[in-house]
Structure 1
Amino acid sequence: MIQGVFLQLERALVHLSHCGHGEAVAVELVDDVSRHKNGKATTREQDKNTLDDEKGMFADRSLDLWRTLQIWTNDFRASGVFCSHYLLVTNTQATGTIADALRAAVGLPDRATAIVTAMNDAAQAGRESRKPKELSKIQAIIDDVMALPSHNLHDLASRIEMVEDFDYNGMRQELATRLGISPDVERDAVLTELMGWVVETLKTAWGAGAPGIITKEACLRQIDAVERRLVRRRFLPRPSSEVLVGDAQVVHARGRQFVDHLGRIEVDDDEVLQAIEHFVQFNAERHRLANEGEIPLQEWTDRGNRLKQRWQNVTRQVRLNHSDKSRTQRGKHVFAETTYYHREALAGQPCDELYMTSGHYHRLADDNLVWWDPEFRGD
């Protein structure tokens, strides 16, 4: 059941990639998946998924084939019109003479005749054989379909196509190209976010009692939003949880100058460890961003100067407000006001990761460009 739902969602995204302006894709509206324009269905699709690679789908006398055909013929009887296209989709191979006839390229002479002939043969085989009772139910469905006038059956047959061995993962690059996803971003990441958006959009619609329909325009807007977010993230630091700090890096950093500055104001071990983590994380991200060329080198110098100016102002403020405090207390005030809360922008963009500001300060302290002990004097 769940695998079948996944197939529908994947096929919905495929249809969105083929849609033109003003078109939309629906899931579980008039069929498993359908394409619409001007309020009318233009393509209808039935999806059949199996985890058994040996199981053939849409066999000559199978319920999955004939129940689908019955749905389509009954809708024609009610409306008097066919859709432009009908699709039978499976993740495995179809079997039987009807499937063989459907594999022929659409538009070939006598294709529709071959399909209807195979359907007639399957219907006749059921009438002539004595089968268990459950097969009589299938025969009733088959007879209902075959009761449609011959010219209508031929018309329907000419509009049916079969898609076998559907493999969503195998066509992701093709899908990205059809959707116009920029090659300058990680296309797989866009597709993954887009699928999540499709799921959420359908859930929201169904939860509100509305049909599950997604327009091509909404899809393109979502792609644009995801691309812009990925581009922004490319030159912004990664979340701290993604920048890992190893034990060896911590041990190595304990002997550095910025740790000595922390010792001068007697901060506790937890704060020293956090400072080391921020220092290592900042250096790792600065190196990555510099290597990728996303942040100009001058920006790092300018940002360091902005941080130093802010530190100078904090130091003056502490000197005015806490002149009665001890050296270590004043130093802790400077350290806290400087590194605890402030988040300095990077290349004109907000930079919310605290380690990128705190770690930058510790890098400056490592070069004795800032410090916390009010009695320390740099070179």
Structure 2
Amino acid sequence: MGEPKPISRSAGHIVAAFTFQFERALHRMFHAKRRGTRIGIETLDDVVELQIRVDGTVEIMLEQDKNVVEGGAQPFQDRSAKLWHTIHVWLTILAAQGRDFDHISLCLATNAVVPSTSLAARMAAARDADDCLACIAEIRALVETTTGKARASLAAICSYPDPAIAEVIANIRLLDGSGATTPSGSWVVETIDRFNLHSTLEDQGAEIYQTLLGKLVDECKARWMRKEPAWLDPMHYVDRLQDEIARRNLERFTDRPMLHVDFRAYLESGGRDHLFLKQLAALQLTPERIDRELEKFWAFYVERVRLEKTGTIPPQDWLRRNDELHQRWEMCRSNAQLEEDDRADSTPQSLARRVFRKTIDETHKAKLGLHDTHTLYFTHGNYHALANDAEGEHYVHWHDMYAPAKATEQ
């Protein structure tokens, strides 16, 4: 009998088109200037990037996405009804809302290769007045030899004066599938590159990407179900990426053999949610360094229990020590931030690693009451204990993703 035919042969094309749109939105999430930026999906266009700068000026990018399945023709042909419909829509937006924005850019994006000889490619390449006027002349001539929906859109475009059409043409950019390395174009690979994954997680880049793409689809669906426009904050996706990295690093280290059987039992029993371990894993330290820090934490834990049982150290001495360590951490963090401010390539990850290095250094050995201490583990392990208690008065963190909510809201 053979396999049954699908009810609709076009359904797969529709799904592929929407997937491509979400991929392009995620690409912009990780390439945008994140502060003051929002990414819109199905708002003013397929994908929109809106940025409100510190000086109050507003920049907007409108992107029209066209996915082509294998063997399909490129979508921005000279007589493409969809191309001229898009240009007409952009003209109406600039006429009605253009003055609401200080800078507007327009983008045609497709996974197909668009020939440089096509009118779409030449409009995208046009930058000076003569180039724009040459394109306008071709558009006005094209309307005479085109039929159907394309002709209707071309006629609507030609009803606008040359300066208005030229403004649209001068702001068009074309992104096509030239040099594509994946079915969706090179953008998926470029997005994963922006994750800046440690070498130990590089093989999980595609899996992490799919997790973020799923979050994007779910968030859009939730907003549309509430009849709200899908305007999304890129920082939420950066935070989710850091959560994914931290979780995967944690999984790598909790499976490693520990020197102390008791420590493994501690982890398996809950270990206060292993927060200190999550913090260490998020720094992407080497496995050997992680193991050393775990040993320091465990050694401090055991020694503190022993000292508390002897009753030789009053509770206020422990509190005083925690307070002094916390104050020192604040100073280390402040100094690290000053140093990072001078770096053009500073990232939240580089700041976190610098805070950690300054705090967990090779010289500082904090006192306990009136007593000097002589081992680094007793100070470093104490810091890890503080990093394990998010509700504590003296909680410390390395990466801002672990900052308490009250601190991040200020």
Give the structure-1-normalised TM-score: 0.58
Q: What is the CA deviation profile of residues 70-97 of structure 1, one whole-angstrom value per residue up to 9, with x for unaligned ones?
A: 1000112212437521000111123553
1:8 aligns with 2:21: yes
Contact 1:46 1:68 in 2 (8 A): yes
Q: What is the CA deviation profile of residues 223-250 of structure 1, one whole-angstrom value per residue up to 9, with x for unaligned ones?
A: 11111111122234xxxxxxxxxxxxxx
Q: What is the CA deviation profile of residues 323-358 of structure 1, one whole-angstrom value per residue up to 9, with x for unaligned ones?
A: xxxxxxxxxxxxxxxxxxxx94488867xxxxxxxx
Q: What is the CA deviation profile of residues 10-39 of structure 1, one whole-angstrom value per residue up to 9, with x for unaligned ones?
A: 000111111111211110011000001239
- The gaps in structure 1 that reach 5 residues or longer are 237-288, 308-342, 351-379
Q: What is the CA deviation profile of residues 265-289 of structure 1, one whole-angstrom value per residue up to 9, with x for unaligned ones?
A: xxxxxxxxxxxxxxxxxxxxxxxx4
- How far apart in 1 are the matches of 2:213 and 2:163? 41
- The gaps in structure 2 that reach 5 residues or longer are 1-13, 275-410
Matching residue of 2:161: 149
User: How many aligned residue pairs are there?
Assistant: 247
Tell me the CA shift for residue 201 of structure 1.
Answer: 1.1
Q: What is the CA deviation profile of residues 182-220 of structure 1, one whole-angstrom value per residue up to 9, with x for unaligned ones?
A: 544332222121111111111111111111121121111
1:177 aligns with 2:189: no
Matching residue of 1:17: 30
Contact 1:8 1:32 in 2 (8 A): yes
AA matched with 1:18: H
- How far apart in 2 are the matches of 1:171 and 1:66? 25
Aligned to 1:56, the other structure's residue is in SS state coil
Matching residue of 1:114: 131
2:140 to 90, 114, 123: 123
- How far apart in 1 are the matches of 2:212 and 2:195? 11
Matching residue of 1:140: 152
Shift in alpha-carbon separation, 1:139–1:344, aligned structure 2, 3 A? closer
Contact 2:208 2:244 in 1 (8 A): yes
AA matched with 1:216: P
Matching residue of 1:94: 114
Give the structure-2-normalised TM-score: 0.54
Shift in alpha-carbon separation, 1:151–1:199, aligned structure 2, 3 A? same
Matching residue of 1:217: 235
- How far apart in 2 are the matches of 1:9 and 1:90? 13
Segments ≥4 residues shifted beyond 6 Å: 346-350
- How far apart in 1 are the matches of 2:196 and 2:231? 21
Contact 1:61 1:122 in 2 (8 A): no
- How far apart in 2 are the matches of 1:66 and 1:116? 17
Matching residue of 2:85: 67
2:40 to 13, 17, 26: 26
Aligned to 1:84, the other structure's residue is in SS state strand
Identity over the aligned pairs, expressed in percent? 21
Aligned to 1:162, the other structure's residue is in SS state strand
Contact 1:98 1:115 in 2 (8 A): no
Matching residue of 1:188: 206
Contact 1:4 1:48 in 2 (8 A): yes
Shift in alpha-carbon separation, 1:228–1:169, aligned structure 2, 3 A? farther
Single out whichever of 57-66 and 172-181 deviates more from structure 2: 172-181
Shift in alpha-carbon separation, 1:100–1:216, aligned structure 2, 3 A? closer
Tell me the CA shift for residue 46 of structure 1.
Answer: 0.5
AA matched with 1:302: D
